[in-house]
Chains A and B, each alone.
Chain A
Amino acid sequence: MPEITGFSFPNDIHVTWSLMIVMYPYITGFVAGSFIVTSLYHLFDRQEFKPVARLAMATSFAFLLVASLPLQLHLGQPQRGPFVIITPNFTSAMAGFGILYSFYLLVLVLELWFVWRQEIIDRARRSRGMVRAFYAALALGTYDTSPEAIEIDHKAIKILAGIGLPAACMLHGYVGFIFGAIKANPWWSTPLMPVIFLLSAAVSGIALLILIYQLFARIDRRPVVATCVSALASWLWFFLILTITLEELELIVMAYEKSESWLIISELLTTRLSFSYVTMQMIVGGLIPFILLAVVVLMNRYLHERVRNTLATIAAFLTLIQVFSMRWNIVIGGQLLSKSLRGLRSPYEPEIFGREGVLMAIALFVAPFVILWIFDRVLGIEEPEGAGGHGSPPAGQASAGTPAVTHVP
C-alpha cells in the first residue's frame, strides 16, 4: 500500500495512468517534433535543414507507427480499443484520437510517397522479380520522372507539408488538451497545457534529430554538415527557452494568485517530485542544456566543429531527459496529488516486467529505431548522391524563394 501524507480520498491512492501514459505523449512528441523539422525544409525552405529533412520525416513516420501502442497497452480491456473509433463519444477529448491519428497518418504517408517517389522508381527499375514487383506496387504503377512530374511532386509535397504541420501540431496539442481539460485536477487543468506539450514536442523532436543525425552519419561514415547541426541547436535552444518559460509561468501564476491548489502543488514539487521536477526537469534537463546551447548559438563562429557537435549532442541528450521528466511529472505527479487537495501519496514505482512495465517502455522507445532501420533498407533514408532536394524550389526560383541560410531562428 502506498503511504499517504495528509488526507487522500481513498480511491485516489491508486495511480490509474501508468508509465504507458507517460510514454504516449513522449512518443507522439517525437512525431510532431520531427515533422516540425522536416516542415522547416519542405514548407519554409530552410535549406540548412536539408541534410535531416528526409531523416526527420522517416523518424516522424516510425514514431507514429508505435504512437498508439502505449494507449492500447494501458487499456483495461485492450480488445475494446477499436470502440474509440467505431463508437466514439464525441464529447470526450479522447474520442478525437482516432480521427487525428488517422488523418495525420494519411497525410504523412502521402507526403512520404511523394518525397520518396523517385527513389521507389529507381529501385523498381534496378531490381528484378519479386523485389521489382514490390517496388512497382509501391510506385503505384507510375514511372513518370519527367521534369513536369517532378514539379508536381514538389507542389504536392509543399501542400501536404502545409496540411501535415497543423495536423501534427493538432495530434500532439490534443494530447496536452486531454490533461489540460480535466478541471478536477489543478496540476493539469490549464489552457497552457496543450501549448507546453507542443513546444516540448518540438524540443524532443529536434533533440532526437541532433542525436540520430550524427549517429547515422557516423554509422554511414558520412561527414556531419556543420550548418545543419548549428541550425538544429539554435532551434532547440529557442524551443527550450519557450517551453521552460511557459512551464515556469504556469507555476508562477499559480503561486502569485495563491490559488487554492498552490499549497499542495508546491508540496508535491518540493517533496514527491523534487528529483524528477527540480533536479531533472529544471536543472539537468533545463538549465544545463540551456547554457550548453547558449554557448553553441552565441559563440558559434569560435567553436571547433567537434566541440560544437559534442556540446549540441550533450544538450540534446539532456533535453530528451527534460521532456521525459516533464511527461512523467505531469502524468504521474498529477496522480500523486489527491483531489482532496489535502494529501499526497508516496512516489509511484512502475513495474519492471508486464504490459505496462519499464521493459515495455524501453521496447516502445526502441521499436521506432528498428522501423527506421527497416525503412532505410527498403527506401533509403539518406538522399542518393547527386539528387536534387525534394523540397527545394525548382530551378529559376531558387534565389528568390530561398532565404539566406542562417542559424538564428
Chain B
Amino acid sequence: MSDCHDGCNGSRREFLSGTLKLAGGAVVTVIGGAALASSGSAAGTGAPLPGGGDYDWNEHLWAYLVDTTKCIGCGSCARACKAENDVPEGFFRTWIERYVVGMDDSHVDSPNGGMDGFPPVQVGFVATKAFFVPKICNHCRATPCTQVCPVGASYRTKDGAVLVDIDSCIGCGYCVQACPYGSRFIHPATHTASKCTWCYHRITKGLKPACVTVCPTQARQFGDLKKDGDPVRAVVEHDRIQILQGHLLTEPQCYYTHLDKEVR
C-alpha cells in the first residue's frame, strides 16, 4: 500500500492487504490507521509488535532533528537507508552535504550522496569553516508534494509522515518537481514516486528510523512532539531551531540546530 512497504517486513504488508483490501491511498490513510489502532496485534505472524502492537497514529506527532555540529560525514546513515529501504542506485532518500566556506566563496559537494564518506577536497579560496549537513525529506506540514499529486497518492499521515501509496501513484512526477528539497524521485523499477518515509515500518513498531539508529554521533535524532519529556520535543520547544527554505512556508518537521546561511 504505502511506500513504506518497500522496506516493510511481511507482517504489516500482509496485514494491510489481507484485512483491508483497499486501493486508494487516501482511503488507506483514514481507514488503515483506524483499523491498525483497533486490531494491530492481529498482524501477520501473531508475535507482539515491538511497539506493543497497538500503534495509534493519533498519539504521535513525529519530528526529526539534526545537529549539524555533530555530523562527521561518515555516511553510515545514507548506507543504512539504502540497505533498509532498498533505495535504487543513483537515487537518495537521505544524503549528506559537505560545506567548505570562506569569507568570499564556498564549495558544496555530496559525492554519491556521502554514502562512501568524503575524500579530501582542495578549494581555490581560503576556507574558514567546514561542516556537514545531513538532508532528508522534511515531511512538511504544508507540503507542496501532496498538494500537487493529481490522484492523492501522496499523503500526510496523522502522525506527521509524508508517504506515497505506490499502488495508486500514476508516476507523473509532479511531486518530484514540487518538492523544494529534492527529496523525491521516480523509482526506476516501480516507476512511481519514492521518498524517505522516516522508516514508517520501523517507527510504527517503536523503532527509530535506520539513519537515526546508526548515526554514531547522534547528529540525527528522531522524536515525538506529542510525548512529554521527549528530547527532540524539548529542543523544538525551548531551543533556537532552524528549518530549510523557511521562506517557502512548507512548515518542515525536520528541524536543524546550528545551520549556516550557506545551507539551502
Binding site for B on A (CB under 8 A): 1, 6-12, 14, 16-17, 71, 74-77, 80-81, 83-84, 87-89, 91-95, 97, 178, 182-185, 334-335, 338-342
B146: chain A residues within 8 A (beta carbon): 91
Partner of B92, one of A7, A10, A87, A93: A10
**Min CB–CB distance B96 → chain A (angstroms):** 10
Q: Which of B95, B147, B150, B182 has the most CB of A within 10 A?
A: B150
Binding site for A on B (CB under 8 A): 24, 26, 90-92, 95, 97, 108-110, 112-113, 135, 144, 146-152, 168-174, 176-186, 190-192, 248, 264
**Min CB–CB distance A71 → chain B (angstroms):** 8
Which chain B residue lies CB-closest to A76?
B171
- Chain B binding surface, main DSSP class: loop
List the count of A-B residue pairs having beta carbons below 8 Å apart. Answer: 127
Asked if B180 and A94 sit within 8 Å, CB to CB, the answer is no
Partner of A77, one of B90, B171, B181, B183: B171
Q: Could you list 8 further interchain pairs (A-B, Cβ under 8 angstroms) beyond the known A76-B169, A88-B150?
A: A11-B176, A12-B182, A14-B186, A74-B173, A77-B169, A87-B24, A91-B147, A92-B150
A95 to B154, alpha carbons, bound, how many Å?
Answer: 14
A92: chain B residues within 8 A (beta carbon): 147-151, 174
Asked if A89 and B181 sit within 8 Å, CB to CB, the answer is no
Which chain A residue lies CB-closest to B182?
A9
**Min CB–CB distance A194 → chain B (angstroms):** 16
A77: chain B residues within 8 A (beta carbon): 169-171, 191-192
Q: A77-B170, A342-B108 are in contact. Are A10 and B151 (CB under 8 A)?
A: no
Q: A76-B192, A83-B168, A87-B168 are in contact. Are A183 and B180 (CB under 8 A)?
A: yes
**Min CB–CB distance B144 → chain A (angstroms):** 6
Partner of A185, one of B90, B92, B169, B177: B177
CB pairs A–B below 8 angstroms (30 shown): A7-B97, A7-B109, A10-B113, A16-B186, A74-B172, A76-B191, A76-B192, A77-B170, A77-B191, A80-B169, A84-B150, A84-B151, A84-B170, A87-B168, A88-B150, A89-B149, A89-B151, A92-B148, A92-B149, A92-B151, A94-B150, A183-B144, A183-B180, A184-B144, A185-B177, A335-B177, A339-B180, A340-B108, A340-B182, A342-B264
A97 to B183, alpha carbons, bound, how many Å?
Answer: 26
Q: Which 5 A-B pairs have the closest CB atoms?
A: A76-B171, A9-B182, A76-B191, A184-B180, A89-B152
**Min CB–CB distance A193 → chain B (angstroms):** 13
Q: A10-B182, A87-B24, A339-B182 are in contact. Are A75 and B172 (CB under 8 A)?
A: yes
A80 to B148, alpha carbons, bound, how many Å?
Answer: 17
A75 to B153, alpha carbons, bound, how many Å?
Answer: 14
A91 to B243, alpha carbons, bound, how many Å?
Answer: 25
**Min CB–CB distance B1 → chain A (angstroms):** 15
Asked if B110 and A94 sit within 8 Å, CB to CB, the answer is no
A335 to B184, alpha carbons, bound, how many Å?
Answer: 14
B169: chain A residues within 8 A (beta carbon): 76-77, 80
